[in-house]
Structure 1
Amino acid sequence: MTDVVDLTRRLVRLNTVDRDEGHAHDILGPLLEEAGFTVRTFEHLPGRGSLVAEWATDTEVAPLCLSGHVDTVPLGAQSWQHDPFAGDIDGDRLHGRGASDMKAGVAAIVRAAVGAAGEGRPRRAGLRLVLTAAEETGALGARHLRTALHRCRSGPLLIAEPTANTIVHGHKGALWLEARASGVTAHGSTPHLGDNALYKLARAVTRLESLTFPVAPHPVMGAPTLNTATFQAGLNPNSVPDQARATVDVRTVAGQEHAEVIAELTRRTGPDISYTTLLDLPPVWTEPDDEWVRGVSGVVSDVTGSRTHRPQAATFFTDAAVLTPLLGSVPTLICGPGQPELAHATDEWCSVTKIQESVTIYERIIRAWCGL
């Protein structure tokens, strides 16, 4: 049977920085097929696909779903102490881009799924793995699965994003907008003959700095946030700019409607500013007293030895923003072996101990739900 650490190293050695996720599926797909899973790949671009593996049963209980992404972010300009595509091991640390975010998590759920399938047919429910492409660029791979997974029966969803094997009950939503102002161009020496779009937009985004959304802070997620990230206007120094654009990043909390967020921004900035949606991923939250969540908490406590499970929410978004509503607003947790503070960082690594520990966690979750 494939060793999970070796499988993680094989995945890390693949350069899937916003490309070539199919190479990862060429490794993972045959492992799952040999274990008895039905495997399908759905490409949104050539060589860039998401894999769905089904271990089916005829029972009425919907299958458990485990998910992770195999794409990674760029390396950055800073030099790495270890080759980011070698999968070097130094003590308890497995180094490389994607080691924590989140190839270790993907390797662990595949290893656990293959191990569970080797124990015989499930008596209670089946198992589904969803391994996505292009999560880092707005969950594009998961969104491409909307047709394939539409109206699929599903039990709970576990996302193996980096949490150091602690339980995270959800994450904020991400609403990225482009704000635009229009004006009239003129020669820079006669600005009174034009209508400067830059000034319009600058005044508008300044008003956003003090914006407080009319929603109560979430007890775990806290308050929503807003960041104006980029600003562009004009083509040359000696012309009045007739177009100006800025990007706005709003992180929303459970219970907050994105349509109302856009309406609130429009009220604050006025009729001269228009908004175009660049990314719309809703918040995800599952209450800690959910029956399945309590069961998973017990498993994690037993395996890790940690008896304290304070409800937590992630600041980053995950594919759950797409998959959870697509699968019917199922109970959702985030729990994976990676170090969350090392996601996207230079010299990224993952604890070998945590990787092995996560396999045990996933195997026990699978057994409990599927009836093994």
Structure 2
Amino acid sequence: MSVDVVRLTRDLVSIDTIGHDESRALAVVAPLLEQAGFTVDIEEHEPGRGTLVAQWHTGLDQPPLCLSGHVDTVPLGIARWRHDPFNAEPDGDRLYGRGTADMKGGVAAIVAAASKLGATRPKRAGLRLVLTSAEETGSQGARHAVQRLRGEPSGPLVITEPTGNALLHGHKGALWLSAQASGVTAHGSMPHLGDNAVYKLAEAVTRLRDHSFDVPAHPVLGAPTLNVGTFHGGLNTNSVPDAAEATVDVRTVAGQDHAEVLASLGERLGPQVRLRPMVDLPAVWTDADDEWAASAAEVVREVTGGDGKHTGPRAATYFTDASVLTPALGSVPTVICGPGEPEQAHVTDEWVSIRKLAESVAILERLCLNWCGL
């Protein structure tokens, strides 16, 4: 069975999945996969927000290769788009639209590649596709999916997030925290009668500026980072604020324990500040000398011709559903490789290359053929 990756990308982009209605997008791909011989199941973690798990010959001796991507997208922003964000009309080599790069193009490539195998029978292993919702806000769809996948044998994992079809071996973790302080309100002309929560929190978060994680930098992921992203306090100018909240974005590296990071930051902030995790996604890393990862890198080089600029392993700056899926599937070898350009994620007039969509299908098809024994 043949699926037109450009047509499917356009069909997916035409459905507004900005934080809702992912199930509508999954309803587009489900019949294509069923026609290709996959068993398809869509489960929702809240109304309209589903995650699809499709399986093909997963009962063989070798566990199935897993391909994954998400169909939710981020808001359009306030800037005016020159191209209809929900049309993805071709313009030369580009399809413009929200989600073309991040990452409905990558999802379309998964479906197109997997559908090509439907008429065959694998010798060694089958396939499992996990197409998720709510990745952009903390991988809630993937968390829901692993409830049914946990304990099932799995082969390696490929995430088709935007990499320009370069193969990446992992990404940093994300630990997003809410830091809150409480006080006592009073009239702004009599501040001595109150207890100012803004002062408490401001003094505390300033101490994070020089916080040291006391871990060595990863040779590829680099050093962990911390950023205080937002700060809010009080309701009106002429009252002493009795509550304040800041949000903190910590990016961790492989080997860091998030519980230890949380405890360390809590100690630095002091007892007057409460810390609550908002997003807790660990780093993902597969060594470049892993046998399967090395073979996947060779496939990518053969299909793309290599870019000649990078000789060593690379990592993504963003997080992916691999933070949830990789440990749940048994810490399987994981790579990130998709047709979108990483710089196009979340931008106005986002686009994906039509040539790289076709290239991505070829890469995924080769990876599937090699693993399944076709």
The TM-score bracket by the shorter chain reads over 0.9
Q: Tell me which residue corresponds to 2:51.
A: 50
How far off is 1:309 after superposition? 4.1
Distance 1:238 1:365 in 2: 64
How far off is 1:14 after superposition? 1.3
Q: Tell me which residue corresponds to 1:129.
A: 129
In 2, are the aligned partners of 1:297 and 1:309 still within 8 Å (CA)?
no
Q: Tell me which residue corresponds to 1:200.
A: 200
Distance 2:181 2:83 in 1: 46
Q: Tell me which residue corresponds to 2:313.
A: 311
Instruction: Verify: 1:24 aligned to 2:31, yes or no.
Output: no
Instruction: Verify: 1:117 aligned to 2:121, yes or no.
Output: no
Letter in 2 for 1:363: E
SS of 1:260 mapped into structure 2: helix
TM-score (norm 2): 0.97
Q: Judge which range, 230-239 or 205-214, deviates more.
A: 230-239
SS of 2:63 mapped into structure 1: strand
How far off is 1:27 after superposition? 1.2
In 2, are the aligned partners of 1:208 and 1:269 still within 8 Å (CA)?
yes
Distance 1:171 1:258 in 2: 15
Letter in 2 for 1:7: L
**Closer, same or farther: CA 58–148 of 1 in aligned 2, 3 Å:** closer
Letter in 1 for 2:42: T
Distance 1:290 1:47 in 2: 39
SS of 1:65 mapped into structure 2: strand
Letter in 2 for 1:123: K
CA RMSD of aligned residues (A): 1.1
Distance 1:285 1:58 in 2: 28
Deviations 1:206-231 (A, max 9, x none): 11111121111111111111111111
Q: Judge which range, 109-118 or 334-343, deviates more.
A: 109-118
**Closer, same or farther: CA 187–127 of 1 in aligned 2, 3 Å:** same
Distance 2:8 2:239 in 1: 57
Distance 2:301 2:262 in 1: 41
TM-score (norm 1): 0.98
Letter in 2 for 1:68: G
Q: Tell me which residue corresponds to 1:231.
A: 231
Letter in 2 for 1:115: K
In 1, are the aligned partners of 2:36 and 2:117 still within 8 Å (CA)?
no
Q: Tell me which residue corresponds to 1:165.
A: 165
Distance 2:302 2:335 in 1: 17
> How many pairs are equivalent?
371
Q: Judge which range, 16-25 or 248-257, deviates more.
A: 16-25
Q: Judge which range, 345-354 or 261-270, deviates more.
A: 261-270
In 1, are the aligned partners of 2:226 and 2:250 still within 8 Å (CA)?
yes
Deviating runs (4+, > 4 A) in structure 1? none
Q: Tell me which residue corresponds to 1:331.
A: 333
Q: Tell me which residue corresponds to 1:284.
A: 284
